[in-house]
Amino acid sequence: MKVGDFISVRDLEKNDIDFLLDKAEATEKKMAEGCSELDGKVVATLFFEPSTRTRLSFQTAAQRLGAKVIDFGSTSGTSMVKGETFTDTIKIVDGYADLLVIRHSVEGAARYAAKVAEHPVINAGDGGNQHPTQMMLDLYTIRKLKKKIDGLNVCLVGDLKYGRVMRSLMYGLAMYKANVTLISPKGLEMDVEAVKEVKQKFNAEIIETNEMNLRDADVLYVCRIQKERFTDVYEAERVQKEFRVTKEQIDGCKKDMVILHPLPKIDEIDLAIDKSPHAKYFEQAKNGVPVRMAIISELLKKK
Amino acid sequence: MPLSVEKIEDGSVIDHITAGHGLHVLAILKIDEKYAGRVALVMNVPSKTMGKKDIVKIEGKIIDEKTADKIAVIAPHATLNIIKKGEVTSKNQVEMPSKLVGVFKCPNPKCVTTTEKIETDFEVEKRSENPNMRCAYCERTFTPEELRE
């Protein structure tokens, strides 16, 4: 892998992704045996924005590799409330840890942190921009379940405007020549430039629609309406109620179609679907650990 | 009847500015009512190559490389003439740089460059009439018009 930090899918080449997916697969097979590869290393998880799965799976990944984890909890317990700048916070933690995992609501925060810090930085989500490790575990899950990525019909459904996961995933899927259909409520479409970029770069087949037609889908990837990025919360709730995946909508879809979701899911997927064989999102969340182990291990190997 | 603008002794003449963008060039040069030197802006002058063009003459101001990069984004065909003692000492066409560092503010209010004291950094994606500028931090792309605002 050429990159020293893990900030954006746009920094990666397909070879890097293949390599990491293979490494994650090997890691998952050996996970039960335990590992002391990163014995003596310290990983800092700095979440300036709330998180459950990403934070816990990074911490689990680091600990399963034998590293210790430091974390400041929420920002309310830090010197940031006294006015300490983001820059200073990163410099301080860089002095304590061997690798920094950062989530922030500000776009480009992880890229900037990587310039400030001497140690490797992993972007665990920066505003509406990127969430590259989520994309990695999504690709990992798709490859594991469908035995390939290329040529699959993948529908990305939900808030494509504010969903950083969708932006990163569309790019990754386009790299693999998957057939991507973007399905979103009106007004929450994917950024025009982001779509144009993947079409030009990868000659990708991207269809954009507001209609929920899932008949040919091999993978249905749903994300919630990003209420926290709306100025009008009531509008966000209205859109969410109108735009959800129901059991009726998946009737008639392919038998082996899989439904993924980065979680947390609110009510964008009918609860009855959780029990259907299509629902694979809990397995997907579990895959976050071996994938993040592979990324952490690879970045620290380079140091 | 052609417009006549007197010569300047020392300063810069920016010719071949895309018609209608002369005012933007003045804004880039931070020329306002407080500027003491002589300034001429001629708009919509007939041009053989461009059809119409704007021209800016400024006395007492030599344009540096960073400012020339800014002008290139707004007016990619502009030529920059440096005048010393009434003579043209250099004449160059502005060049669209591959990177614009510390030149424009990122228009994305959620970008880290607006919340931290950081020099902005844009990658110029297309070397054409209408290039896009991608912020190295928030990764959003902007047109020259969006950056200018």
Confidence band of A77 (pLDDT split at 50, 70, 90): low
* Interchain proximity B110–A111, CB inside 8 Å: no
pLDDT at A189: 93
CATH 3.30.70.140 maps onto chain B at 11-93
Rounded mean pLDDT of A68-95?
85
Asked whether the predicted pLDDT for residue A259 surpasses 80, the reply is yes
Per-residue pLDDT tens digits for A112-147: 999 999 999 999 999 999 999 999 999 999 999 999
CB A132 within 8 A of CB A3: no
pLDDT at A69: 98
Check if A86 contacts B (Cβ < 8 Å).
Answer: yes
Confidence band of A52 (pLDDT split at 50, 70, 90): confident
Tell me the chain B residues in contact with residue A117 when contact means C-beta distances shorter than 8 Å.
Answer: none
Domains of chain A: 9-131+286-301 (3.40.50.1370), 132-281 (3.40.50.1370)
Which of A10, A12, A107 is the best mutation test for B, with the most CBs of B within 10 A? Answer: A107
Asked whether the predicted pLDDT for residue B4 surpasses 80, the reply is no
Asked whether the predicted pLDDT for residue A155 surpasses 90, the reply is yes
Per-residue pLDDT tens digits for B63-84: 988 889 889 988 889 999 999 9
Fold designation for B11-93? Alpha-Beta Plaits (3.30.70)
Residue with tokens 């963008």: B21
pLDDT at A231: 76
Confidence band of B128 (pLDDT split at 50, 70, 90): low
Check if A226 contacts B (Cβ < 8 Å).
Answer: no
pLDDT at B126: 72
Rounded mean pLDDT of A262-278?
91
pLDDT at B28: 87
- Nearest residue to A134 via CA among A32, A69, A35, A52: A52
Q: 3-class DSSP state for residue B36?
A: coil
CB A116 within 8 A of CB A46: no
User: How much of chain B exceeds pLDDT 70, in percent?
Assistant: 94
- Alpha-carbon span A97 to A70, nearest angstrom: 8
pLDDT at A226: 76
CA distance B139 to chain A (A): 7
Fold designation for B99-148? SH3 type barrels. (2.30.30)
Of the candidates B108, B113, B141, which has its C-beta nearest A193's C-beta? B141
Angle between helices A14-30 and A132-146 (to 10 degrees): 70
CA distance B69 to chain A (A): 24
ipTM of the complex: 0.90
Confidence band of A238 (pLDDT split at 50, 70, 90): confident
pLDDT at A34: 82
Active site amino acids of A: 53-54, 82, 103, 131
Per-residue pLDDT tens digits for B32-56: 889 999 999 999 999 999 999 999 9
Asked whether the predicted pLDDT for residue B127 surpasses 60, the reply is no
**pTM given for the model:** 0.88
Asked whether the predicted pLDDT for residue B149 surpasses 70, the reply is no
Q: What would the DSSP string read from start to end of A161-229?
A: TT-HHHHHHHHHHHHTT-EEEEE--TT-PPPHHHHHHHHHHH---EEEESS---TT-SEEEE----GGG
pLDDT at B30: 87
CATH 2.30.30.20 maps onto chain B at 99-148
